Chains A and B, each alone.
Chain A
Amino acid sequence: MSDPDSLVYIVDDDLSVRDALRNLLRSVGLEVRTFAAAQEFLSSPRPEVPACLVLDVRLPGLSGLDLQRELAEARSEVPIIFITGHGDIPMSVRAMKAGAVEFLTKPFRDQDLLDAVQQAIERDRAARRERAEVAELRARYDSLTPREREVMMLVARGLANKQIAGDLGISEPTVKLHRGRVMHKLGAQSLADLIHIAEKIAPPDNDQRPAQAP
């Protein structure tokens, strides 16, 4: 079976709810995988496609909120739509704080769920694209020589060639040479591009790497 375009995971212990949600999501053309328990979901392989998770808050064993935490710890950033029979505000606040996309209280309007699912998938698609881009840039960055990296960082900080030459104790033409090679290897068209790339591959306050899909 080839990977679908996108995927919706449903984790709910109630058979009626599970089947009904699968039926609904399939009727708008979405691919659906259903699970009766959080553990089941965690142990199943997930293809690298834009996806979202429709998650019942109350689950036997590992609860919805527990699953959310586990996923966060594993840096598995699938957007989560919580559904609950008894929506209580503190719980929803907790879930939203932990990065849930949506918190729907049963009975919800089917269209609301569909909209939330579409949004979540789009969001995941964008995030994936972003992560792929960063990964690509990182790979290119990794191909730079140490000197080229030094030059790149100084350029990105806005220093002129002359200053860089002074700082590194090399000649200005050598700086120009390295700079040209950096631009080429990273695929940057302009100085602005280069600065942008430098920011992406080395976020100033965290060095979070893209999630590694299993």
Chain B
Amino acid sequence: MSSNNLRLSRTKRPWPVACGVALAATAGAFVLRMAFTPLIGPTTVPFDTFFLAVLVAAWFGGLWAGILSTVVSALASVYFFAEPGRSMLIHNRHDQLSLLIFIAVGLCVALLAHSQNLALDRAERAENAERVERRRFETTLSSIGDAVLATDAAGCVTFANKVALALVCGSEADVLGTHIEDVFRIINEFTREKVESPVVRVLRQGTVVGLANHTLLIARDGTEVPIDDSAAPIRGSAGEMVGVVLVFRDITERRAAEALRERQHKLEAEQALREKEAELARVARASAVGELGASIAHEVNQPLAGVATNADAALRWLSREPPRLGEATESLRLIARDAERAGAVVRRVRELLRKKESGANEPLDLNATIQEVLALARGHLEKDGVAVRTELAAGLPPVRGDYVALQQVIFNLLMNSSEAMAQVADGPRELVVCSRHSGPQVEVAVRDSGPGVDPASMGRMFKAFFTTKPGGMGMGLSICRSIIEAHGGRIAAESNDGPGLTVRFHLPATVEGTEAASTNASS
């Protein structure tokens, strides 16, 4: 800006300067002519050196300086150097003609110099304007948050703002003049295949190009940045494409936000699904237990109803006048029969359960069972924010039993702990599952950091239908106990030293397993 102000326009010189230049140039020519006088005499070639004066005046002083110089030069040369000298008369025809030519040429030179100056001025102004424009452009692009690269029509980088340099990890020296494909390398995030630079596409298509989604920019140092970009042609005054401007931005943060949002949605959906599953499982279990219960109840109810009614009838027979002892005796016989029948139903159910529970009598590795159940329960445990730790003894001897039933026991214990800990607002939610070989038995303990149980409930929690949960059946621990006892083991709960509860069960280890374990231990 400032340099622009100081530089004077060639065509608009102030008039004293123009006069000064014109007179100085004319004076110079005069001196020069005088210098030639010893060689050529005083009154020959009167005009020729003054061409120079006009030329210089017009060049440096502009149109009017040229004209002034022409006029003054003509007067001076006529007066001093044309025959007869020191007079405004010209005797010589040759000189008269020369004067005319001099004036004509002088004016022409002045005009020519002027138009030349005009052209130069215009060019300079245009250049200035362009410089200003460019500076503004650069300032703007440097200060915006997006990365900007501009290229020429061949695709070589002509401009890069700071953000762009930072993203491609290069200095201006690295980048400027380099082909865009070498500076701005992009790949598809998923296929990891090279993506054609939008600049190249713009150069080919001549239209604005937006970038496909999921593009990664590979910086010069190899780092990958997810970006979003677009490119547009830069057109010259005739509409021809002179380059391309590429605008891109780092969308890591936006991505992160999106990913977070997506993850949240997914979590919510998963949570809903799990809740539904839990509900389903509960309903399934409840209805299975309920159905079994109902049918057992019906089976037992019939003979029990018979007992009650027969007893009532017996009383009636006895209260008849006279008492009907025969019928009363018959009633008692029926009572005995029905009571026996009720007992038989209960026995049968028990046998059924026992058979079912110890049905599969395979040697099995409780550690493996624990791991499998943990995998099954992971969803639930995660939902309740429970951290699980295992302390599984190596070389645990196998136990004999029903794989599914024992899985169920462990699952129930995990669920109870998880459900208990879900209630604690603060403090850790830690679940530890331990296995141990103790004497002829294998011990498994599930320890949690939940609220534990009050002493009054401690004795009742293994009873059927004891529950403190709104949706609970109170069957979990009762089923656990019957399964463990059917396997010849025992199960008990105890309060931890710290917060929480430990439920522990013991199962007899197989004899062979115990021997193997002890030889292993001794060797």
Contact = CB atoms under 8 A, between A and B. Distances in A.
Interface stretch (B164-172, B298-306, B363-371, B444-452): B298-306
A5 to B, nearest CB: 17
Contacts of B320: 27
Contacts of A142: none
B327 A16 contact: no
Contacts of B330: 23
B341 interface: yes
A85 interface: yes
A118 to B, nearest CB: 14
Interface stretch (B69-77, B145-153, B240-248, B308-316): B308-316
B327 A20 contact: no
Interface-centre pick from B304, B308, B309 (highest chain A CB count, 10 A):
B309
A193 interface: no
B357 interface: no
Given A23-B331, A27-B327, 16 more contacts: A14-B302, A16-B338, A17-B309, A20-B310, A21-B309, A23-B310, A23-B334, A24-B312, A26-B327, A27-B320, A28-B316, A85-B301, A107-B304, A107-B305, A110-B312, A110-B313
Contact of A20 (B294, B305, B316, B317): B305
Contacts of A19: 306, 310, 334
A26 B308 CA distance: 16
B317 A27 contact: yes
Interface in A83-99: 85-86
A19 B294 CA distance: 23
Interface residues of A, number: 16
Interface string A1-38: 00000000000001011011101101110000000000
B301 A20 contact: no
B159 to A, nearest CB: 85
Interface residues of B, number: 26
Contact of B302 (A17, A26, A110): A17
Given A27-B313, A86-B298, A17 B331 contact: no
A24 B309 contact: yes
Contact of A24 (B294, B302, B316): B316
Contacts of A26: 313, 327
Interface string A99-128: 000000011001000000000000000000
Interface of B: 294, 298, 301-310, 312-314, 316-317, 320, 324, 327, 330-331, 334, 337-338, 341
A16 B305 contact: yes
Secondary structure call for the A interface: helix
B348 to A, nearest CB: 15
Nearest to B342: A16
A14 B309 CA distance: 14
Contacts of A85: 298, 301-302
7 contacts: A16-B302, A17-B302, A20-B309, A20-B310, A26-B327, A106-B301, A107-B301
B294 to A, nearest CB: 8
A10 to B, nearest CB: 12
Nearest to A16: B306
A16 B316 contact: no
A164 B306 CA distance: 67
A108 to B, nearest CB: 9
Interface string A36-79: 00000000000000000000000000000000000000000000
B298 A20 contact: no
Given A23-B330, A23-B334, A107-B301, A17 B313 contact: no
Contacts of B307: 20
A26 B327 CA distance: 9
A17 B306 CA distance: 5
A20 B341 contact: no
B304 to A, nearest CB: 8
Contacts of B306: 14, 16-17, 19-20
Contacts of B309: 17, 20-21, 23-24, 110
